Chains A and B, each alone.
Chain A
Amino acid sequence: MSVHAPLRLGPAEATLIAQLTAAGAASEAERLAGSGLPTRRVEAYHYTDLKQLLRMVPEPAGPPVAASAPALRVAGAFQLMIANGVVEGHGTAPAGVIVGRTKGGVLSTRDDVVTRLNNALVGESLTLDLEGSVDPVIQIDRRTEGPAGHSASAAKIFVADGASVVILETCSGSEAAHLGNHATYLAVGRNARVTHITVNLAARAATHFATTEYHLAEGAYLRTLAINAGGALSRTQLFPRFEGKGASADITGLNLVGDGQHADITMDATHAVPGTASKPLFKSIARGRSRAVVQGRLVVARDAQKTDAKLMSHGLMLSDEAEILVKPELEIYADDVVCGHGSTCGQLDEEQLFYLMSRGIPKAGAETMLVRAFLAELVDPIEDEALNEALTAVIEEWLAGGSP
């Protein structure tokens, strides 16, 4: 028998319920009214207690008005835009890229409030069929523009067998307390190679939710880098599923948090078939009064023998008031696997700092060198030069103290 204390709904929950009802999602509204937003008692939200952290939800975002400057420009990229949840027009697509729209959300059903809200509130989704290798970087530029607004956006991407593509997604918008909830469904075909980068450059007052679901077919290779640099409250969810033999991925992520920010990267990976490999690697740098969260879960199905998975998390604390919270979870049902996890957290190494300074490099310069060195492992593997430069610029701006 379980005892339920009467659930008290806060203003954020009340607004969400009203918005769900208005959007015709009565059952989701009812469900949220019954459960409320997740608290720390919900394992997946242990360090990101949405009931506490999400104080209010703005009105649904209106039609997009004048757009702000692009958050990130990559020379030669093919640009697509979703503004306030609306899929905008675009230039001529490169060969092999078919752009379309479809009604409704893209994420698979999951017991997760961010996923459910997105699926219920997305009006139309962007669809991308990548029929073969595409040379230019494909950028999906997601914006929340105008006064503070709640918007949900979604994209569904299919990468054909054997294709090689680089996809960049950026989230940004006007300086207001928006709530942006963004979703991506990305299916990687047999032996295809995909690099998928997401950069959260949301306004400093904004709440940013992003969920990406990956499906990897036989022999597929995926490299991801999810960067949280913006937003007051950010939650980036990565749900990779290894569904074909020999599929492998380097799932990487980076939290860059400063004063007043809370950023969370939560990964839930499923190795569903034999012979797949993943190397999730997450890093966090926290300064000022801030909090970075990394949760990583590896699930290995009963049949998924010979799974090779290693989850790592490294934290760098640049102030005494910063917090970095890390939680690995391994759920292994197969008996012939190599799975592990590890984590480090600390400050800059005094010996290394002294060594650099003893060669004439001033303290601030030496610190920057060491922070860059800490991040090199994530950025160096991004082969596209223009993209690598753009990401380096995001990181440099953060290091220089500029708020994104």
Chain B
Amino acid sequence: MTTPMLEIRNLHVRIEEREILKGVNLSIPKGEVHAIMGRNGSGKSTLSHVLAGKEDYEVTEGQVLLDGADILGMEPSERAVAGLFLAFQYPIEIPGVATMTFLKAALNAQRKGRGEAEISTPDFMRAVKEAGKALNVDSEMLKRALNVGFSGGEKKRAEILQMALLKPRMCILDETDSGLDIDALKLVSEGVNALRSPERAMLVITHYQRLLEHIVPDVVHVFSDGRVVESGGKELALELEQKGYAGFDGEKAA
């Protein structure tokens, strides 16, 4: 049996005294796209942050394996070098850092971390231009400070642009559909679909079925109260849409 790209084993996480993740089990093989659906507050975003290595969370039990290697002891930057990428629900604004400068720094930091040579400026410019074209990201936007004054759609497109440039093996998309109108959603989804590959796995976190019409998952997991309560094919998303989360976790809608 081949090693899954991402394997989460019995993951328990708390913030201060409150347990948020209560034994998450999840396995995503290479080449597959999995979706996690769950209501607000079910712990979906906590999961994405813990996977990317954000501080403030205490892992009390469990393991997270990226292509067989435990990443819980790694810094966020080391996880990125290992091939993990989180597309943020709310991309952070960084005044004073030009988007272009940031992209080059990130790309070169990852190459350096993997023992590769720095990318030449012409190669870099070409790669950015190519990735930008598909996502409708022009050079004017890249000159601006990172995410500063970007519209909701621009922020999400910039996230997918980073993903396209950094070529991660494991992509986590946290509520990528939030704040997008239907045209922007289509554009972003096409960008994500273009990155589907047999060597890459994706975890798409959302609470609407809408996104999954555009990024069609291989497997859907229903998340409730800090764990996966049901898994199934893409039709599970439709079923969820009809029955509501209460049909799965027995709780009343919040």
Contact = CB atoms under 8 A, between A and B. Distances in A.
Which of B53, B76, B86, B95 has most chain A Cβ within 10 Å?
Answer: B76
B162 A359 contact: yes
A113 interface: no
B236 interface: no
B88 interface: yes
A363 to B, nearest CB: 7
A361 B88 contact: no
Interface stretch (B3-11, B104-112, B220-228): B104-112
Contacts of B145: 373
A123 B54 CA distance: 61
A253 B3 CA distance: 57
Interface size class, chain B: 20 to 34
A82 to B, nearest CB: 35
A356 B96 contact: no
Interface stretch (A84-92, A322-330, A346-354): A346-354
Contacts of A357: 53, 75-77, 80
Given A350-B55, A365-B105, A359 B95 contact: no
Given A370-B94, A372-B96, A360 B110 contact: yes
B244 interface: no
Contacts of B80: 357-360
Given A350-B55, A360-B77, A360-B81, A355 B109 contact: no
A363 B79 CA distance: 13
Interface string A352-396: 101111111111011001101111110000000000000000000
Contact of A376 (B55, B86, B96, B109): B96
Given A350-B55, A360-B113, A362-B109, A373 B76 contact: no
Contact of A358 (B76, B95, B102): B76
A373 B79 CA distance: 25
B94 A362 contact: no
Contacts of A359: 77, 80, 102, 106, 109-110, 162, 166
B95 A360 contact: no
Grouping DSSP codes into helix (H, G, I), strand (E, B) and loop, the A interface class, with mixed when no group exceeds half, is helix
Range of interface residues on chain A?
Answer: 20 to 34
A365 B97 contact: no
B77 A363 contact: yes
Interface in B145-172: 145, 162, 166
A376 B79 CA distance: 29
Contacts of B53: 357-358
Contacts of B94: 352, 355-356, 370, 373
B117 to A, nearest CB: 15
Contacts of B96: 372-377
A153 to B, nearest CB: 35
B109 A365 contact: yes
Nearest to B76: A357
Given A359-B106, A376-B96, A354 B55 contact: yes
B86 to A, nearest CB: 6
A355 to B, nearest CB: 4
B6 to A, nearest CB: 16
A66 B65 CA distance: 64
A355 B92 contact: yes
Nearest to B162: A359
Interface of A: 350-352, 354-363, 365-366, 369-370, 372-377
Interface of B: 52-55, 75-77, 79-81, 85-86, 88, 91-92, 94-97, 102, 105-107, 109-110, 113, 145, 162, 166
23 contacts: A352-B94, A354-B52, A354-B54, A354-B55, A354-B76, A355-B94, A356-B94, A356-B106, A358-B86, A358-B88, A359-B80, A359-B102, A359-B106, A359-B109, A359-B110, A359-B162, A360-B109, A361-B77, A369-B102, A373-B94, A374-B96, A375-B96, A377-B96
Closest 10 pairs (CB-CB, A-B)? A373-B96, A360-B80, A360-B110, A359-B106, A357-B76, A355-B92, A376-B96, A357-B77, A360-B109, A361-B109
Given A354-B76, A355-B88, A358-B76, 11 more contacts: A356-B106, A357-B76, A358-B53, A358-B79, A358-B85, A358-B88, A359-B80, A360-B110, A372-B96, A373-B145, A374-B96
